Structure 1
Amino acid sequence: RNINKETKLKFVHTSVHGVGHKFVQLAFKAFDLSPPFAVPEQKDPDPEFPTVKYPNPEEGKGVLTLSFALAEKDGAKIVLANDPDADRLAVAEKQESGEWKVFSGNELGALLGWWIFTCWKNQNQDACAIKDVYMLSSTVSSKILRAIALKEGFHFEETLTGFKWMGNRAKQLMDQGKAVLFAFEEAIGYMCCPAVLDKDGVSAAVIAAEMASYLATKNLSLTQQLKAVYDEYGFHITKASYFICHDPKIIEQLFENLRNYEGKNTYPKFCGRFKVSGVRDLTTGYDSSQPDQKAILPTSKSSQMITFTFANGGVATMRTSGTEPKIKYYSELCAPPGNSDVEQLKKELDELVNALEKHFFQPEKNNL
């Protein structure tokens, strides 16, 4: 708290015409942090969202134009942005170059996971306590928490996409006397404390501010600490996108093609030059990595979802959206600690994604 009281770091907060303003101001006060500068044009609820094209901070820099301008004016280095119902959080940091870096949901998940575990470790000297500690993330999010858990000795579990799954699993674990420190999904949703078993952008904002204030005392930025996390636990490079398809028949055909790739009931063994080492299909319940070949996560015949694991450390999930005419994909390359050639890793992931699009989506053939 002394660090919070004395920090010289300045923050800008936007609630993007939503409900977050008052609650974030109160949260900062409760943490003994100076209140963040609020973007005046966006601090009060307005269902017309007049200053943005699309009121979701997940969209990146376009939503944060007014925040960056205020930060430049007031000398703030960090922008915290909630979506209108304040259950998501985006964070941006001014770089040495003067550019702003908007952290992806996976990057902020890595930072918050590192910070929350670090705080827990400082308060729990008993070596046995770690066996009851858990962190969760959704199956399409980065596996960085798994890497931290493996090295530090706590438990990591993944759930289906969405906080109803993570919140319910957290409740089950807590009922068994376990401590669930953190859960996140790549769509900028974070559960930073067990008081709310759901994503919450208000607690995430103030905990991110506390983390940044602590790092400032070590002369470290969030960007530098993110690199330190990846250096210690292994780089996790992610890339996600989607194709639009309005024809349910084509979508079904695309996924059925993957299930009968080289004859009936055979999944692909290669994606271009990339060797497939495992397949999990949560539509049919098949998982090649399990002894009985049955998936552990719940399955649903009404939605399509297949995850491919590759021999090079890559993972790619293809799934249909429950709300939009989209086939989404989420890809990640997980490197072991010590492999710090980030540019080479990015190049390899780009090649994997290009192969995924060309061979598995086949956009020309499927009119995507």
Structure 2
Amino acid sequence: MSDTLELKIEEWLNWDKNEHTIREITALRDEGNTVLLEKLLMSRLEFGTAGLRGRMGPGYSQMNDLVIVQTSQGLASYVDEVFGSDAEELGVVVGYDGRYNSKRFAELTAAIFINKGIPVYLYSQVCPTPFVPFALLHFKCVCGVMVTASHNPKDDNGYKVYWNNGAQIIPPHDKNIQEAIMKNLAPLDCSWDTSIIDHSNLLNDPLPAVMDAYYSIIQDCILYPNINANTPVKFTYTPMHGVGYPYMLQAFNIANFKPFVVVEEQKDPDPEFSTVEFPNPEEGKSSLELAIKTANENQCTVILANDPDADRLAVAEKSKTGDWRVFSGNEVGALLGWWCLYCYREKNPDADLSDVYMMSSTVSSMILKSMSKVEGFKFLETLTGFKWMGNKSHELISEGKTVLFAFEEAIGFMCGTAVLDKDGVSAAVQTAGLVAYLKTKGLSLTDKLNEIYLKYGRHITLNSYYFCHDQTVLKKIFERLRNFKGTPKTYPDGIIEGKYKIVGIRDLTNGFDSTQPDQKAILPVSSSSQMVTFTFNNGLVATLRTSGTEPKIKYYTELCASPEEQNEEVLSTTLNEMVEAIVQEFLQPEVNGLIPRSS
């Protein structure tokens, strides 16, 4: 065992106050397990724009009490540096989900800010992630922390940070916070004492005020309360073992709906996620088996599903033949985009749409872009992640613009701007309102989606991913695409021996964009992540990117057809042919040892 590792072990045992993680590190030392100890102690989780997210366990490279203490000390120091006395006046918001250790991590965070003289709005019970950015804006706080790993496996947890504009942090805050963490690694004795939150006058529970304010906005956004009250449609809802149930119950009540049928087995927070292999409704039918069973038993025709921290929404509908259709995030985005525009026009019949905006991320469907060309509102494309859409929304609002809707294909939806992030609760109640309205017209969600495609053009997508645990392989794949003809910035010019030609290339890793006059990308560039988009002459857009939180290489493809091209079978055949070629010619999964999603 090296001297450096021995010093790190001694440092950990001196700093850590959690008997479980102390015991685990001690046992590994006594076993002489230097390989694992080096993995746990010689590298650390780095704070990024997604904050922290990782497996729970001992060591600086995992999520545990000590890492949370160090992170919160760094964040509190940075907040103090940026906001000074304003932080002591305005405070911070802290929330947590139902995972193992989430409440503990939240209380440690709260104690550290209180010890620095900064007031804390700490939720008294588990809450949806969107309740943190909502409370942040409501109370005009300087920042917010949500302890959650969203839909990750049960062994993971995370630490998500919002800034005073109500949106997730973006550069340079992430790097500045990381630097502040590294300057504040030694834990103060008071940082471990969570008893301070039991008697400090700097601690407040935001829940009562947030419930009143949030649901007042929900109520104001309901277009047809009478239609909701009288709809014959029955809904099944699942919170996927997460936090959503009581909050969705209240949302349905405020919106004038009859109560939904909850999936009893998944109703309450369960850190084991005992009925699902992956607590992620984005996985489709495999994650909704119990919801479908419950819906069938109770004659429900629509399923609404939140992920465990209730910021995402999945939607499924029963067809007349009894089959269930689980809508993709892009399809729900098209439906909610249409509905948000319809509601806005009904409430503002004389509105000028030239200052009205909708947006989606670069890996999501461009259906809103197609709608904007017909309807006259503005469309914006952002980088992947709601942090970009939230910050852009704040910027637009500051300029006096109206932001109606934003979405991402990973079933994330922002209806309005009460929350500058994805919000599965408001999205669910808006979806239910759309369903109820369509029922009065004799239409289903599927019928409405087809109407949208008839008017704006059929947009069909095919997205998936491969697992790859070797970062050097991922880099090699993308460097090959950037040097396709042997010299830099010589990308492929087509697939299937030129059958489909590439007419545009945007590389947001190095900033190259062939469609711009100066060949420089307009969207922000990040050399720390891999992302290349190819546009083909027949309207196909394909983006290849690495995941920021998982060992995956993802591909997102969409064929954007004109309204005249409505033969879905022909379009699907073309899409499948092209995606297969892109995968084989660009990713070369067999050559690079990539593991298919289904494996």
Q: In which range does the TM-score fall when normalised by the shorter chain?
A: over 0.9
**Corresponding residue number in structure 1 for 2:247:** 23
Q: Aligned-pair distance for 1:54?
A: 1.2
For residues 53-80 of structure 1, what are the alpha-carbon distances to aligned partners after superposition, in whole Å with 9 as ceiling and x for unaligned?
Answer: 1111111112212211221122111010
**Corresponding residue number in structure 1 for 2:382:** 159
Q: Which amino acid is the alignment partner of residue 205 of structure 1?
A: A
Partners of 2:501 and 2:468 in 1: CA distance: 28
SS of equivalent to 1:125: coil
**Corresponding residue number in structure 2 for 1:232:** 455
Question: Quick check: 258-267 or 18-27, which moved more?
Answer: 258-267
Structure 2 unaligned segments of length 5 or more: list them.
1-224, 595-599
**Corresponding residue number in structure 2 for 1:315:** 541
Of the three residues 544, 568, 579, the one matched with 1:353 is 579
Aligned length: 367
**Corresponding residue number in structure 2 for 1:65:** 289
Q: Which amino acid is the alignment partner of residue 344 of structure 2?
A: W
Q: Aligned-pair distance for 1:325?
A: 1.7
The answer to whether 1:91 aligns with 2:319 is no
SS of equivalent to 1:60: helix
Q: Aligned-pair distance for 1:274?
A: 1.3
Partners of 2:449 and 2:344 in 1: CA distance: 19
**Corresponding residue number in structure 1 for 2:276:** 52
What TM-score do the two structures reach when normalised by structure 2? Answer: 0.61
Partners of 2:439 and 2:349 in 1: CA distance: 25
Give every structure 1 segment of 4 or more consecutive aligned residues whose post-TM-superposition deviation is greater than 3 Å.
none
Query: What value does the CA root-mean-square deviation take over the aligned residues?
Result: 0.9
Q: Aligned-pair distance for 1:309?
A: 0.2
Q: Aligned-pair distance for 1:126?
A: 2.1
Partners of 1:255 and 1:172 in 2: CA distance: 33
Of the three residues 359, 362, 368, the one matched with 2:588 is 362
Partners of 1:10 and 1:223 in 2: CA distance: 17
For residues 165-201 of structure 1, what are the alpha-carbon distances to aligned partners after superposition, in whole Å with 9 as ceiling and x for unaligned?
Answer: 1000000001100000000000000001210010010
Q: Which amino acid is the alignment partner of residue 321 of structure 1?
A: S
Partners of 2:532 and 2:296 in 1: CA distance: 44
Partners of 2:333 and 2:388 in 1: CA distance: 17
Aligned pairs for 1:213-362 within 5 A: 213-265=436-488, 266-272=490-496, 273-362=499-588
Q: Aligned-pair distance for 1:33?
A: 1.0
Aligned pairs for 1:100-179 within 5 A: 100-126=324-350, 129-179=352-402
Of the three residues 283, 286, 302, the one matched with 1:78 is 302
For residues 203-223 of structure 1, what are the alpha-carbon distances to aligned partners after superposition, in whole Å with 9 as ceiling and x for unaligned?
Answer: 011000000000000000001
SS of equivalent to 2:380: strand
Q: Which has the larger radius of gyration?
A: 2
For residues 16-41 of structure 1, what are the alpha-carbon distances to aligned partners after superposition, in whole Å with 9 as ceiling and x for unaligned?
Answer: 11110011110111111111111111
**Corresponding residue number in structure 1 for 2:90:** none
**Corresponding residue number in structure 2 for 1:203:** 426
**Which structure ranks higher in relative contact order (CA pairs < 8 Å, sequence separation ≥ 6)?**
1
Q: Which amino acid is the alignment partner of residue 274 of structure 2?
A: P
Q: Which amino acid is the alignment partner of residue 228 of structure 2?
A: N
Partners of 2:319 and 2:339 in 1: CA distance: 21
Partners of 1:175 and 1:64 in 2: CA distance: 40
Q: Aligned-pair distance for 1:364?
A: 2.5
The answer to whether 1:9 aligns with 2:233 is yes
Q: Aligned-pair distance for 1:365?
A: 2.2
Partners of 2:470 and 2:318 in 1: CA distance: 43
Partners of 2:553 and 2:290 in 1: CA distance: 32
Partners of 1:367 and 1:18 in 2: CA distance: 35
Q: Which amino acid is the alignment partner of residue 150 of structure 1?
A: K
Q: Which amino acid is the alignment partner of residue 80 of structure 1?
A: L
Q: Which amino acid is the alignment partner of residue 321 of structure 2?
A: S
Q: Aligned-pair distance for 1:363?
A: 1.8
Partners of 2:411 and 2:568 in 1: CA distance: 23
Q: Which amino acid is the alignment partner of residue 109 of structure 1?
A: G
For residues 219-241 of structure 1, what are the alpha-carbon distances to aligned partners after superposition, in whole Å with 9 as ceiling and x for unaligned?
Answer: 00001111111111000000011
Partners of 1:361 and 1:316 in 2: CA distance: 12
Q: Aligned-pair distance for 1:324?
A: 1.7
| Contact 1:271–1:360, Cα closer than 8 Å, also in 2 | no
Of the three residues 266, 269, 281, the one matched with 1:42 is 266
SS of equivalent to 2:288: helix
